[in-house]
Amino acid sequence: MGWYEHELEWPLAGGPPPALVTGVRFDALDVPAEAGFAMLSRFCRPGQLGPVALDGHRVRLLVAAGTAEELPGLLEWLEWDGIGLDLAALGTGQSLRAPAHPEWGRREAAYDRSAPVWLRPPRPGIDVESTVPALRITPETDGPQGTVGLTTLVAALATACHRVTLRARCPDQPWAFSYASRMVAGTRPRSLTS
């Protein structure tokens, strides 16, 4: 795992398997894979999200160091406090399993389905701090390298996590009451029954 230490200059903890230390150069937002993949499709331009890893059924999005401490207040400000979201932050004193090098990590994952892999790998030679979402004083416009702002990301993640929770609780519930979904449910609009 010299790639992390020498090329990226990221601190590692323990081993084997090695773990990336959070709270030093970056923190990580930990969400269900379904919500994480929704973010990857929503923010699909290269460089919009920074590095993103898949570890089992969880997606880890690297964000600015200090985000773990700010997340509860940010969720409260966005009016998501008190709602059971499967959204957590890994910060100071924590770590995440280190995915293998992007060039041979997918091959390793083919043999070990539990091995973490990079969905959007870090770019050597570029400081991670300039590529991850962070809180900004200025309005939520694209940051350095076109990175989305942390407030925008957390709002979108909270919505995606909530949708995952709702789908798990009520898989047959139509969430949009379009004409087609009302016909399936047997509740035709009044204008069609007269």
Q: Give me the sign of the Cα torsion angle 27, 31, 36, 39.
A: negative
AA identity, residue 184: V
Spell out the residues 6+ positions from residue 59 whose beta carbon is closer than 8 angstroms to its own.
30, 31, 32, 33, 35, 36, 37, 39, 40, 52, 53, 119
Condensed to tens digits (0 to 9), the pLDDT of residues 58-112 reads 999 999 999 999 999 999 999 999 888 999 999 999 999 999 888 765 555 555 6
Are the beta carbons of 5 and 12 closer than 8 angstroms?
Answer: yes
Condensed to tens digits (0 to 9), the pLDDT of residues 7-54 reads 888 889 877 778 999 999 999 999 999 999 999 999 988 778 889 999
Based on the structure, what is the number of domains in the chain?
1
Are the beta carbons of 116 and 52 closer than 8 angstroms?
Answer: no
Give how far Cα 76 sits from Cα of 71, 149, 154, Å: 9, 17, 11
Enter the pTM of the model. Answer: 0.80
Range of the domain at 112: 2-193
Spell out the residues 6+ positions from residue 34 whose beta carbon is closer than 8 angstroms to its own.
160, 164
Q: At 190, is the pLDDT very low, low, confident or very high (cuts 50, 70, 90)?
A: low
AA identity, residue 192: L
Nearest CA-CA partner of 96 in 4, 156, 22, 1: 22
